[in-house]
């Protein structure tokens, strides 16, 4: 095949794309494998570094991952999924390493790990490398140092989210690596971010000058090592201390601080094997092929980083049709060159000339002997492959596949949403004014903001008011779905007509069949493999309503969640779920828990249910600890009835999300479902 050019790979009909390189690597092409290692080593190093934080272990785990990549890439069925596949491998190896270090079986669950001090050395860890090599200062340094205080599970998720916030990973790649559906991933990310903000508060209080006088009492017995127990104690003090709590008033959200941040450079120790002559030895070694032991490569990987640091050199080979040593895995000698004492990676510009490639952060660390004033070369980004070029020859068209849907795990936390704006703001449509002004939900930027707002509040789904096919709310559903797909947020609908007209079985069946155009999409909320639909009801509805819906749903297969009425538990025909819609705290044991900030209809002189932030926090805690499968907020943005929790000029906050969303963020983050 055509040789790879370091200034941009080429094939007879044009430049090589990233997918071309993966395809070539699957056939055992040596230079393609080298190129993959050079491009993805920095990404893997950053994931493992933040997940483990211990330099003594990071090098070995990184090498293990790269070995597995080279050994198994030939089994990869979809070359376009290469990066997601590699990131998933990295996370599996990280979890395996945690378990082995704790003396547990490699398949043991990792839940419950708290003490990050088990592996981390605060005196010389990945955080120090990040702060030093990227010259972090002020709040960015605070975020990096706060990661030491996270529990193991949050550290693993943070290692991926950090790269997402920095623009190096997509949310879908993050979800695939965590082996979670997108909605659950969004919730997990929000909970982790809440813990990160708590850890930032801990770091701020410890570094404050002068330090709070009560700290000496709080820290009595602390050995100076970050640990989950001490994080909780210090955080509890910070929340109750006026001096310490005031330190966080000017903080910038972590995702804004990390946006565009470079990858932490790969240390020279991971490249030493490549420069020490091991590549030649590996190339001349005996391949472990066919019936050989693949475990040999894994055995070599463990301890190789330590061997490099002590000057030991070893050569081993990997089989499967390609003779490669572990050193060669990290070597990528054709991709890594030493220039003037600094190390630069030049193999990242697939399909581009190097001089025209977009610049990114250096992917390997400059040698210690390099002068501080010497400029560091900026190669193309190793983590964002260019879009695949179209094939020059026509390919057979594969049959269209039905989209894969993932079921949400209970409990589901969601908010009722109303796509009525800007029309319903007119003519005194609300007693309150949104902080965003009288917005239009036809604007994608508005929908994006609202989705991110709900995710910030720990919500994974929106329940959008729906009045029938072709109606205003129906026409706005495609935009909600498309933006939800981009941001990992789920939608379903609130079937409103039931409360006003008692639709027939045939009408309900027809409506459910129509909704399949949306509900068959992965973005739609699913439980037990079924698309969810919420149904509103009037106060005088009874078991006859439940029977109509049961009959209509026999051929449609929805997860129907009806609104409760008196005696609902005794109905012969039971839906899949029940919920209440109430302007206050309501818990239907075993079915739903709802809360609302208040109720003040736009045409009323006084509020029916006055707003009270302290009550709302108490209600949120009751909902979060209820164990109910549906934990619902009434509402996100029903401005006409004054039940909105969306930010308004009457309850702004420094976070920009408003006082009520801040409470949901704090309470739901403190009480994961």
Q: Note if the bond before 556 is cis, omega within 30 degrees.
A: no
Whole-number Å distance between alpha carbons of 351 and 7: 9
Where on the phi/psi map is residue 87: left (φ > 0), alpha (ψ -120 to 50), or beta? alpha
Question: Does the domain formed by 412-478+497-523+539-670 have CATH 3.40.605.10?
Answer: no
Instruction: For 650, list phi and psi in degrees, rounded to 5.
Output: -85, -15
- Which residues have CB under 8 Å from 414's CB, separation 6+? 459, 460, 461, 462, 463, 490, 492, 525, 630, 631, 632, 633
Give residue 613's pLDDT: 96
Instruction: For 589, list phi and psi in degrees, rounded to 5.
Output: -55, 125
Whole-number Å distance between alpha carbons of 169 and 548: 47
Does the pLDDT at position 256 exceed 80? no
Give 536's pLDDT tier (boundaries 50, 70, 90): very high
Q: What is the pLDDT of residues 448-490, one digit of tens each?
A: 999 999 999 999 999 999 999 999 999 999 999 999 999 999 9
Does the pLDDT at position 654 exceed 60? yes
Torsion of CA 347, 353, 357, 362, to 10 degrees: 30
Does the pLDDT at position 264 exceed 90? no
Does the pLDDT at position 433 exceed 70? yes
Give 65's pLDDT tier (boundaries 50, 70, 90): confident
Give residue 102's pLDDT: 58
Does the pLDDT at position 368 exceed 80? no
Q: Which CATH number fits domain 1-108+268-385: 3.40.50.2300, 3.30.530.20, 1.10.1740.10, 1.20.1740.10?
A: 1.10.1740.10
Mean residue pLDDT across the chain: 74
The pair of structure tokens assigned to 412 is 């589901």
Whole-number Å distance between alpha carbons of 537 and 55: 59
Q: Comparing 276-285, 479-488, 490-499, which segment has the lowest mean pLDDT? A: 276-285
Give residue 37's pLDDT: 82
Q: Where are the domains of the chain?
A: 1-108+268-385, 113-263, 412-478+497-523+539-670
Whole-number Å distance between alpha carbons of 413 and 631: 5
Q: Comparing 69-78, 265-274, 369-378, which segment has the lowest mean pLDDT? A: 369-378
Q: Which residues pair with 586 in a beta bridge?
A: 594
Whole-number Å distance between alpha carbons of 127 and 148: 8
Asked whether 653 and 662 are in contact (CB, 8 A), the reply is yes
Q: Comparing 11-15, 209-213, 256-260, which segment has the lowest mean pLDDT? A: 11-15
Does the pLDDT at position 422 exceed 60? yes
Q: What is the pLDDT of residues 148-197, one digit of tens each?
A: 788 877 878 887 887 787 777 788 888 888 888 887 888 888 888 888 88
Count of C-beta atoms within a 10 Å radius of residue 387: 10
Could you tell me which of 196, 185, 108 has the C-alpha nearest to residue 146? 196
Better pLDDT: 353 or 510: 510
Give 517's pLDDT tier (boundaries 50, 70, 90): very high
- The percentage of the chain sitting over the pLDDT mark of 90, rounded to a whole number, equals 37
Does the pLDDT at position 104 exceed 60? no
- What is the mean pLDDT of the segment spanning 35-59? 76
Give residue 195's pLDDT: 85
Q: What is the pLDDT of residues 111-145, one digit of tens each?
A: 433 333 333 333 444 555 554 444 445 666 777 78
**pTM, 2 dp:** 0.48
- What is the mean pLDDT of the segment spanning 485-510? 95
Residue whose tokens read 């933040």 = 50
The pair of structure tokens assigned to 52 is 């483990």
632 membership: H or E segment, kind and range: strand 630-633
């Amino acid at each position: 095949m055509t040789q790879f050019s370091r200034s941009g790979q080429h094939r007879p009909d044009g430049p090589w794309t990233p997918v071309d390189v993966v395809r070539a690597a699957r056939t055992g092409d040596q230079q393609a494998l080298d190129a993959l290692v050079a491009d993805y080593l920095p990404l893997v190093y950053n994931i493992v570094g933040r997940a483990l934080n211990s330099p003594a272990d990071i090098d070995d785990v990184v090498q293990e991952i790269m070995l597995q990549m080279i050994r198994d890439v030939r089994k990869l069925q979809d070359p376009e999924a290469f990066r997601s596949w590699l990131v998933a491998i990295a996370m599996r190896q990280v979890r395996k390493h945690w378990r082995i270090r704790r003396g547990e079986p490699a398949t043991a669950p990792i839940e419950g790990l708290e003490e990050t001090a088990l592996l981390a050395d605060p005196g010389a860890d990945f955080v120090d490398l990040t702060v030093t090599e990227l010259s972090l200062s002020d709040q960015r340094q605070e975020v990096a140092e706060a990661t030491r205080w996270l529990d193991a599970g949050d550290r693993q998720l943070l290692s991926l989210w950090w790269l997402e916030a920095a623009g190096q990973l997509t949310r879908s790649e993050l979800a695939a690596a965590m082996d979670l559906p997108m909605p659950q991933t969004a919730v997990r990310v929000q909970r982790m971010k809440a813990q990160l903000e708590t850890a930032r508060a801990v770091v701020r209080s410890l570094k404050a000058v002068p330090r709070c006088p009560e700290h000496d009492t709080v820290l009595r017995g602390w050995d100076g090592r970050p640990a989950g127990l001490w994080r909780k104690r210090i955080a509890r003090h910070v929340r109750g201390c006026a001096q310490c709590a005031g330190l966080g008033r000017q903080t910038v959200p972590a995702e804004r601080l990390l946006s565009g941040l470079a990858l932490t450079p790969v240390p020279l120790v991971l490249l030493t094997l490549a420069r020490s002559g091991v590549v030649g030895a590996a190339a001349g070694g005996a391949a472990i092929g066919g019936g050989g032991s693949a475990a040999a490569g894994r055995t070599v990987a463990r301890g190789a980083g330590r061997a490099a640091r002590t000057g030991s050199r070893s050569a081993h080979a990997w089989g499967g049709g390609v003779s490669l040593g572990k050193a060669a895995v990290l070597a990528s000698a054709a991709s890594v060159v030493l220039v003037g004492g600094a190390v630069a990676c030049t193999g990242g510009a697939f399909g581009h000339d190097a001089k025209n490639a977009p610049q990114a952060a250096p992917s390997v660390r400059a040698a210690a002997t390099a002068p501080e004033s010497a400029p560091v070369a900026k190669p193309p980004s190793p983590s964002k492959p260019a879009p695949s070029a179209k094939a020059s020859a026509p390919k057979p068209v594969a049959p269209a596949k039905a989209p894969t849907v993932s079921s949400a795990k209970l409990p589901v936390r969601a908010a009722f949403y109303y796509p009525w704006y800007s029309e319903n703001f007119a003519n005194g449509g609300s007693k309150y004014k949104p902080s965003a002004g009288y917005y239009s939900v036809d604007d994608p930027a508005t929908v994006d903001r609202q989705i991110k707002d709900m995710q910030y509040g720990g919500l994974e789904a929106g329940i959008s008011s729906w009045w029938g096919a072709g109606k205003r709310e129906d026409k706005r559903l495609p935009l909600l779905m498309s933006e939800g797909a981009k941001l990992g947020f789920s939608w379903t609908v609130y079937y409103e007509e039931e409360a006003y007209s008692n639709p027939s079985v045939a009408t309900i069946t027809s409506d459910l069949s129509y909704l399949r155009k949306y509900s068959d999409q992965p973005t739609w909320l699913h439980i037990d493999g079924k698309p969810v639909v919420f149904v509103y009801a009037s106060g005088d509805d009874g078991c006859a309503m439940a029977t109509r819906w049961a009959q209509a749903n026999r051929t449609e297969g929805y997860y129907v969640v009806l609104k409760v009425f008196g005696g609902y538990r005794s109905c012969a025909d039971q839906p899949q779920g029940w919920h209440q819609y109430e302007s206050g705290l309501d818990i239907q044991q075993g079915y739903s828990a709802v809360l609302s900030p208040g109720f003040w209809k736009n045409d009323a002189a006084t509020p029916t249910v006055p707003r009270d932030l302290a009550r709302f926090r108490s209600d949120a805690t009751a909902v979060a600890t209820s164990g109910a499968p549906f934990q619902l907020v009434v509402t996100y943005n029903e401005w006409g009835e004054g039940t909105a929790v969306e930010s308004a000029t009457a309850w702004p906050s420094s976070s920009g999300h408003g006082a009520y969303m801040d409470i949901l963020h704090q309470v739901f983050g403190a009480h994961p479902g």
